Amino acid sequence: MRRVTTRPPSFPEATPNVALNPQPGLRWQVTCGDAGHWRTGIYSPGEASAAAVAELEWHDCPELFLLLSGRVSLLLADGAALRELPLEPGKPVLVTAPHCGFCPDGPHTGTAFVVERDSFDTEYRLPREWLS
């Protein structure tokens, strides 16, 4: 298990009222935020299947995912089992469970928009270690 602490300001400066330009092919890019409140990011996992997921992360606060393009599924630790949750266009998902994403069509072929707090703690463990 490992732990990571995120504290404000945890995002880059962004010029208001102009388009942000995230780089393609990166797993996680924090794009902007409001110090002490929220931050946003673009998520495009490199894993192509649930079996390729090495660890799940759990935040001490909820996180919102919204599919932007391609296909992204989340692997969730749900009590005594792992389950896959495919993201659907236009249907945000509020995640509180240990999770990790993957792109079923290949590395970085899907992209999700993520909203999370600007201050939180994250715990990482092997998927089986989250099961009760």
Cβ atoms of 101 and 28 within 8 Å: the answer is no
Whole-angstrom distance, CA of residue 131 vs CA of residue 52: 17
Instruction: Give the DSSP letter string of 96-118.
Output: -S-EEEE-TTSTT--EEEEEEES
The pTM of the full predicted model, rounded to 2 decimals, is 0.95
pLDDT tens digits for the chain (132 residues)? 899 999 998 999 999 999 999 998 999 999 999 999 999 999 999 999 999 999 999 999 999 999 999 999 999 999 999 999 999 999 999 999 999 999 999 999 999 999 999 999 999 999 999 998
Map out the domains of the chain as residue ranges: 2-13+27-130
pLDDT given for residue 55 in this prediction: 98
Q: Which of 48, 33, 42 is closest to 67 using CA atoms? A: 42
Chosen CATH of 2-13+27-130 out of 2.60.120.10, 1.20.120.1760, 3.40.50.1100, 3.40.190.10: 2.60.120.10
pLDDT given for residue 9 in this prediction: 86
